[in-house]
Homo-oligomer: A and B are copies of this chain.
Amino acid sequence: MRMASGTQRGERRADALSKRRIVEAAIAILDAEGERALTFRALAARLATGSGAIYWHVANKDELLAAATDDVIARVMTDAGDGTGPREAVRAIALGMFDAIDVHPWVGAQLSRAPWLTAMPRIFEGIGSRLQALGVPEEAWFDSTSALVNYVLGVAGQNAANARLHGPGTDRAAFLGAIAEQWERLDAARYPFVRRLAGRLADHDDREQFLAGIDLILTGIEAALPDRARQGGHV
């Protein structure tokens, strides 16, 4: 007796294993239970199969994580980035990444593991093409894009790290408050600056601060723009 019910030649059962389904299941586990919960055993259980079956579709865990990350980043790049002007587009792309990593913190960690061949070209293209539209001269493309991308990746990594510390579902405010409290208790002679900063830690808005950083870099980029391009991008 065949397992398939209503399948025809060349078709696949709706629940047949595939890289797409595996990646989707992986994302679901990562989102709901965090990075530590993603094991081949858990994945196999969720997909009602053996752990070895997954290896038929995916080479190893690194490839699985890269594919999951690429999935999320691809969505960001198609969804965001069509603001009015090029400056708005850069901000929109950056914010899109921030928000995506807010929902999928593990993406932030994964991006620090060099998906140079999958997610990274998407990010470079998304941001760099907008800088080009902003009128940044070709000699400055690489450095400018790299500055924005690295900043975004830095924030992404920290958000991922924070999410790892307070497991999925814990509230951020209490977490930040606890750190602020520690910072206030640091040695006054060695950490005068950090102690004065501590008060702002607890009540600052991550998203606003992220955007403030983007704006600082954009201001730096625009300061080096040829006069012609300063009035909001070229035609």
Binding site for B on A (CB under 8 A): 108-109, 111-114, 116-117, 121, 124-125, 128-129, 132, 138, 141-147, 149-158, 160-162, 164-165, 179, 182-183, 186, 190-194, 196-197, 200-201, 204, 209, 212-213, 215-221, 223-224
Q: Are B219 and A161 in contact (CB under 8 A)?
A: no
Q: Of B132, B190, B217, which contacts A193 at CB under 8 A?
A: B132
Taken together, the copies of this chain in the complex come to 2
> Knowing A112-B160, A117-B179 touch, does A209 contact B165 (C-beta < 8 A)?
no
* A129 / chain B contacts, CB cutoff of 8 Å: 192-193
**Least Cβ–Cβ distance between A17 and chain B, in angstroms:** 28
Which B residues are in CB contact (< 8 Å) with A221?
Answer: 216
Distance of A224 Cα from B212 Cα, bound (Å): 12
Q: Min CB distance, A120 to chain B, in Å?
A: 9
